[in-house]
Structure 1
Amino acid sequence: MKILFLSRYDRLGASSRIRLYQYFRYLEAHDVEVKASPLLGDDFLKLSYAGQGIPKRIVAYAYIRRATEVIKAVLTSEYDLIWLEKELFPFLPAWGEALLDLLKMPYVVDYDDAVFHSYDHHRNVIVRSLLGGKIERVMRGAAMVIAGNNYLANRARRAGARRVEYLPSVVDLDLYLEQPPPRGKCFTIGWIGSPTTARHHLTIIENMLADFCRDGASRVIAVGSGDLNLPGVPLEVRPWSEESEVSDIRSFDVGIMPLPDNPWERGKCGFKLIQCMACGLPVVASPVGVNRRIVEHGVNGFLASTAEEWTAALTELRDNEELRIVMGKSARRKVEKEYSLQEASPRLLALLRSVAGRHG
C-alpha cells in the first residue's frame, strides 16, 4: 500500500507530528510506503510563533506546490490513498477535496481540533458565509474521517460523513519514563504548550498561581510558552524541543491544563495531559471537552473550574507526596491502556488498509 500524506506542517507542528508522523515507522515496518508532503515548513511555524508577518509569496508558493502534488497523484494513480490533515487549502473553498471525491481518489481526513470553528465562528461575515460549511464538505467527501475526540466525531457524523472513527492522540511509551527524577524542595507546577496557547490558557489562572506560590514553596515551569509574563508567579520559561520535552515534563511534580470553556477548546484532544500522565504525574485540568474523559477526578488527578478548586487540588498534591505517587501510577496505567502509540498503531494500520482495500 502506498499513501500520500498531506500534512499542515512538518515535525515542528504538534498536530502533524503526533497525529501522523509518529506512525510512519510502524507503517513502513508493515509494508506501507508513505510519502510526506507538508503544506508549510517549520520556518513558517517559527515565524508564526514569533508573531511575525508571513510573506504572501511563501503561502502562494506552498499552495501551488500542493495543488501540483494533488494533480500528479490523481493523474498517475500512484497512491492507493491520500491521508489528509484537516483540509487541503486553508481559507479556500473545498474544491480540491471535491475533485478528489469526483475522480474516486479516496482520502482519509484527520482532525484533532475544531478547525471548522475557524470558519463558522469567524468574525468576518464574508468568511462565515463562504467557508462556514467548508469542513463539513471535506468530511462528506472523505472515505473516512478520523477524529481525536467525540466533539469532532459528532461534528463529522452531523456533516454526513460516510465513515467516522475515533482515534485519540497518543504517546510513544518507549520515550516516556514512568519514574520521575528525585524531587527538589520546591513544588513544581508544570505546563507545556505553544506561545499562542500560553497567552490564552495560563492567563486564566495567573492570579490563582500568584496567590498559591506566594509562600515561596512552589514554582511554575512553562515549556514552549515563549516570552510569557505572569506577574507575581515564580516562573521558569523553557524553550520547547522534541528532544528535551520528556525530560522537561519529568521535572514537574504535577501537570496542569487550564482551558476556557468555549467551542474551540472543546475540540482539543488533551495531548499535554497525556504526556504528563505518561511520565507518571498527576494532573489538574479544567473540566472542558475531552479533559473529562482523560482525567478521572480523584484517581489520576483533579478537575478544577474555580480558583478555589484549583487551589484545593494543588494544595492537596503539594502536601501529600504519597497521593502524588498513587495518582501518578494510575495516570500512567490509563495512558498505557488508552493513549499509547503501541496500542493505536495496529488499529490505524487496519483502518487505512480497510479504506484503501475497498477502493483498490
Structure 2
Amino acid sequence: MRLVALAESESHVCCRYRLTAFRAALAGAGHTLEVRALPRSWFGRLALGRDLTSYDAVVLQRKLLPPWAVALLRRRVRRLVFDFDDAVWLRDSYSPKGFDDPKRAARFRATVTACDLVIAGNDYLAAAARKFVPADRVRVIPTCVDVAKYPVAEHGPGGAVRLVWVGSSSTLKGLERFAPTLSAIGRAVPGARLKLVSDRFAGFPGLPVERCVWSEATDAEEIAAADVGIGWVPEDPWSRGKCGLKVLQYQAAGLPVVANPVGVQAEFVRNDETGFLATTTDEWVHAVRALAADAALRKRLGAAGRHQVEARYSVAAGGTKWCAALADLVARVAAPRPARMIREAVRLPNGRGVHVE
C-alpha cells in the first residue's frame, strides 16, 4: 500500500514514535509511507485530500479537524486511518476550564466514525473510540521505542542514587505538582538527586537537581546514565489516556521505574518485577530508598523492564502490529473507490455553502 500520513510535522514526537519508526517494517511488508504537514490555514483545509487520491490510505495523526474538513477528506481519499495517543476528546490536566469540551468531543466522534481504521495507543483510548464504531475497526498499537538505541545502565555498587525524569515543558507541570513528595525523597534518602532531561527546569527543596537540556541525539545516553526512572502523572481522565513513553524509555535503558498506578503505568510497572508502584509519599520514599541501597535489585528490575520492552513495546513489535492492521484494512475495505475528482456541497463554519472539487 502507498500510505501518506497527515501529521503536525515529521519531527514531532508523536510522528517519530508512532509512524516513521515503523518505516522499515512497513517497507518489509511492501508498504511505503510519506509524511505531510497538516495545513493550518482555512483555505488549506478546504483543499485537504485533493492531491491524495492516488494513495491507498491516508493516516490522520492525532489532530481533530472540524467535521466539515473530515467530511471532505473522507470523500476524497480511498481509505482513512486515525492514529491517536492521547485523550484528545478532553482538555488536558492543566486546563482551567476542566476536562469536558463539547467541541473536542464532537470532533472526535466525527473523526473516528469517518475512518476505516482507528489506531489507539492503549486500551483506554480504544474503548473511547469503540463507543462510536464497531470493535473490528479499532486496533491498539502502543507507542514503541527502538531498544537498540538505548545503552544499558551499569548499576555499579555504591554512590548516590540518581533519579531521572524526561519530558517536555508541558508535562513538567505535572512533576511540579509532585514537588512535596520529591522534596521528601531528598530529605529521606541521603545523596539522592534528580536529573531532569527537558526543555524547561524546576527546583525541588531538599532534592538537588541536575539540569540536562533534551536532545534527540543524546536523550537515550542521558537516561541510561541514571539509576532509577520516575513516572508521576495526575490521577485524572486525561492522564489515563497517556501512553507512557517516558516509562518505556527508562525501561529500554535498563532502569527500574517508580511510578504511580495511573493508566498504562500500572501495566508497565509491576512491584518487585520491573520496579515499584507508589501512591503515597511514604510509598515513594520506601521504594526509592530500597533501590538506592541495592544495586543488584536495580539491575534485576531494570533487566526485566528492558526485556518487557523488547517483547511488547519495541519498534519490531509495533511494526508487526501495524502490518497486521493494514492487512485487515485491505481485507475489509477490499474495493476502494477509484481516484476521481468529486464535486460536493459543503457547509462551512461561516454558514455559507460552497461547491468544491
TM (norm. structure 1) is 0.84
**Structure 1 stretch displaced more, 320-329 or 256-265:** 320-329
CA distance in 2, matches of 1:139, 1:338: 26
Query: Does residue 41 of structure 2 align to residue 20 of structure 1?
Result: no
Q: Which one has the largest radius of gyration?
A: 2
1:31 aligns to what? 30
The correspondence of residues 137-148 of structure 1 with structure 2, limited to 5 A, is: 137-148=110-121
Which shows bigger deviation, 18-27 or 143-152? 18-27
Equivalent in the alignment of 2:82: 109
Q: Which residue of 2 aligns with 1:43?
A: none
Q: Tell me the SS of whatever aligns to 1:165.
A: strand
* Structure 1, unpaired ranges of 5+: 41-58
What is the distance in 2 between the residues matched to 1:219 and 1:225? 19
Q: Structure 2: which amino acid aligns with 1:15?
A: C
Residues 18-52 of structure 1 deviation map (CA, whole Å, 9 limit, x = unaligned):
11121123323443222211238xxxxxxxxxxxx
Q: Aligned with 2:271: secondary structure? A: coil
Which structure exhibits the higher relative contact order, with contacts defined as CA atoms closer than 8 Å and separated by 6 or more residues? 2
Q: Which residue of 1 aligns with 2:50?
A: 71
CA contact (8 A) 1:84 1:107 kept: yes
Counterpart of 1:100? 73
Matched residue type, 1:140: T
Maintained 8 Å contact 2:3/2:33: yes
Q: CA deviation at 1:68?
A: 3.5
Question: What corresponds to 1:187 in structure 2?
Answer: 161
Q: Tell me, what secondary structure is at the counterpart of 2:246?
A: helix
Relative to structure 1, the CA distance from residue 282 to residue 103 in structure 2 (aligned partners, 3 Å threshold; closer, same or farther) is same
The alignment status of 1:173 with 2:151, answered yes or no, reads no
- 1:209 counterpart = 2:182: yes
Conservation of the 8 A alpha-carbon contact between 2:275 and 2:301? yes
Q: Secondary structure at the match of 1:99?
A: helix
Give the count of matched residue pairs.
330
Q: Is the counterpart of residue 297 in structure 1 residue 276 in structure 2?
A: no
Larger mean CA deviation between 174-183 and 282-291 belongs to 174-183
Match of 2:61 in 1: 85
How far did residue 86 of structure 1 move?
1.8
Instruction: Report the Cα offset of residue 216 of structure 1.
Output: 4.6
Q: Tell me, what secondary structure is at the counterpart of 1:227?
A: coil
In structure 2, relative to structure 1, the CA distance for the partners of 1:262 and 1:326 (3 Å cut) is same
Alignment of 1:187-266 (within 5 A): 187-200=161-174, 202-214=175-187, 216-266=190-240
RMSD: 2.4
| Partner Cα distance (2:102, 2:263) in 1 | 27
TM-score, normalisation: structure 2: 0.85
- In structure 2, do the counterparts of structure 1 residues 225 and 231 end up closer, same or farther at CA, with 3 Å as the change threshold? farther
* Cα distance in 2, alignment partners of residues 245 and 260 from structure 1: 24
Between the aligned partners of 2:239 and 2:266, the Cα distance in structure 1 is 12
1:85-117 Cα deviation digits (max 9, x unpaired): 02353xxx2222223334563111111110110
How far is 1:231 from its partner? 3.2
2:5 is aligned with what amino acid? F
Distance (Å, rounded) in 2 between the aligned partners of 1:285 and 1:124: 27
Structure 1 stretch displaced more, 94-103 or 131-140 = 94-103
Change in Cα spacing, 1:283 to 1:123, as seen in structure 2 (3 Å) is: closer
Residue matched to 2:325:
351
1:118 to 1:350, Cα distance in 2 relative to 1, 3 A: same
- The letter of the residue matching 2:123 is N
Gaps spanning 5+ residues in structure 2: where?
337-357
Q: Which string of whole-angstrom CA distances, capped at 9 and with x for unpartnered residues, describes residues 308-331 of structure 1?
A: 111111111111111111111111
Q: Is the alpha carbon distance of 1:223 and 1:158 closer, same or farther for their aligned partners in structure 2, counting shifts above 3 Å?
A: same
Q: Which moved more, 1:334-343 or 1:246-255?
A: 334-343
Whole-angstrom CA distance in 2 between matches of 1:141 and 1:177? 42
1:298-317 equivalence runs, <5 A = 298-317=272-291
Q: Which has the higher helix share?
A: 1
Is residue 181–residue 250 contact of structure 1 (8 Å, CA) maintained in 2? no
The code of the aligned residue for 1:133 comes to A
Deviation at 1:333, TM superposition (A): 1.4
In the alignment, is the contact (CA less than 8 A) between 1:253 and 1:281 conserved in 2?
yes
Partner SS for 1:296: coil
The match for 1:2 is 2
Question: Percentage identity across aligned positions?
Answer: 31
Q: Which residue of 2 aligns with 1:54?
A: none
